[in-house]
Amino acid sequence: MHPEVTPADGRLLDVCGRRRSPATIPGYNAGRPPATKGRRYPADPIAVEDIALLLWACKAASTDRRHQLSALRLRALIAVLWRSGLRISEALDLEERDLNRREHAITVRHGKGDKRRISAMDDWGWRELQRWLDVRRELKLGQVFCVLSGPTEGRSLSGTDARRQLRELGAAAGLRRRINPHAFRHQHAVELWREGVDVYAIQRQLGHARLDVTAEYLRGIAPMELLGPIGQRRAPTMAVPHAA
């Protein structure tokens, strides 16, 4: 039976007679809005301890060269997402010409709304990325985070594949939380705020059109961590009479 044939009971079956989702049929979702369109999710920063576990688990499954390259590529991708706050689409679209380590600058040519911007990344992030770039030269010219072999070698890794690898890495690391690329972006914003970076600089780093979007990212900070400094304000310097 052809995999797209619908039997009399209305079910879709594959070649082995198993039920399949209609969403697996090519073109099924054409013109359909994503199921999550319009939904807003709370900020979900990933703790540094969890990132450390992910990096620790980012090892080759075997001595096969392709597995080693895949592990190194994923580790570099995590470093870029975490230390630059780029969206996954922005990271996967990067080319070597977009990287300026001397100035700590990453050029995002097609950000959200097709807007161009410059984001910065610290020395640790650059060192992790450089390890991948050194071996990336063995592959065909193309995006930084590329397909390793086959007819599409050198072309950008797909967002779907990157998300799958992160989910599998989270399971391998034993993390009982959802691992998704945007969690690193949320954590980046929180860390910048904790390090005293101005909220307007954070907005520019992340490429947000509105400051209220940046504020949403900082909801991952505990309320009293935000409000604590208010309770530690100095007493007024003007002369105030004592209560009787």
Rounded to whole angstroms, the Cα distance separating 185 from 217 reads 9
Q: Is 182 one of the catalytic residues?
A: yes
> How many Cβ atoms sit within 10 Å of the Cβ of residue 113?
7
Is residue 82 pLDDT above 60, yes or no? yes
> What confidence tier does 227 reach under pLDDT thresholds 50, 70, 90?
confident
Beta carbons within 8 Å of 177's beta carbon, 6+ residues apart: 46, 50, 170
Among 73, 75, 136, 182, the active-site one is: 182
Q: Comparing 72 with 6, which gets the higher pLDDT?
A: 72
Segment 103-124, tens digit of pLDDT: 999 999 999 989 999 999 999 9
Q: Is 186 one of the catalytic residues?
A: no
Range with the poorest average pLDDT among 4-8, 104-108, 152-156, 202-206: 4-8
117 DSSP 8-state letter:
E
> What confidence tier does 63 reach under pLDDT thresholds 50, 70, 90?
confident
Q: Is 217 one of the catalytic residues?
A: yes
pTM above 0.85, yes or no: no
How confident is the model at residue 220, as a pLDDT?
A: 67
Q: Which fold has domain 48-180?
A: hpI Integrase; Chain A (1.10.443)
> How many Cβ atoms sit within 10 Å of the Cβ of residue 139?
15
Rounded to whole angstroms, the Cα distance separating 107 from 96 reads 10
So where are the chain's domains?
Answer: 48-180
∠ CA 205-79-199, nearest 5°, is 25
Integer angstrom CA distances of residue 26 from 14, 132, 193, 198: 14, 34, 44, 47
Q: Is 41 one of the catalytic residues?
A: no
Strand partners, 146: 156
How confident is the model at residue 34, as a pLDDT?
A: 55
Percentage of residues in the chain with pLDDT exceeding 70? 79
105 DSSP 8-state letter:
E
